[in-house]
Amino acid sequence: QVQLVESGGGLVQAGGSLTLSCAASGSIFSIGTMGWYRQAPGKQRELVATISSGGRINYTDSVKGRFTISRDNAKNTVYLQMNSLKPEDTAVYYCNAGEVLRSNLRRNYWGQGTQVTVSS
């Protein structure tokens, strides 16, 4: 089993910045892609950004140029640097990690979520 522990959420004013962290621990065989998702009130959970073990990155269009995802493979930790925050970024942010058990088998893990609130 893999546990994901998130930190870094909080309350900021529009235009401000926050950095989220998510550390994976437990019985880890191999962590593949890690990423961040968010869920705003009344909306579906959506992808924010992902980063593969090899460093391939994808962002949703709404955060491109403002958010930066990175990872430290030695620490099994993924980060999300969020700049120029907007009220519409307000959501619970969830860390996600894919565990590579075999070449053809993956398991998905989720963090507990951390609240990001951007005031206007």
Q: Which of 10, 12, 9, 17 is nearest to 120 (CA)?
A: 12
Residue range 92-109, pLDDT digits in tens: 999 999 998 888 898 999
Residue range 29-44, pLDDT digits in tens: 889 999 999 999 999 9
**Which residues neighbour 45 within 8 Å (Cβ) at sequence distance 6 or greater?**
37, 38, 39, 94
The pLDDT of residue 28: 82
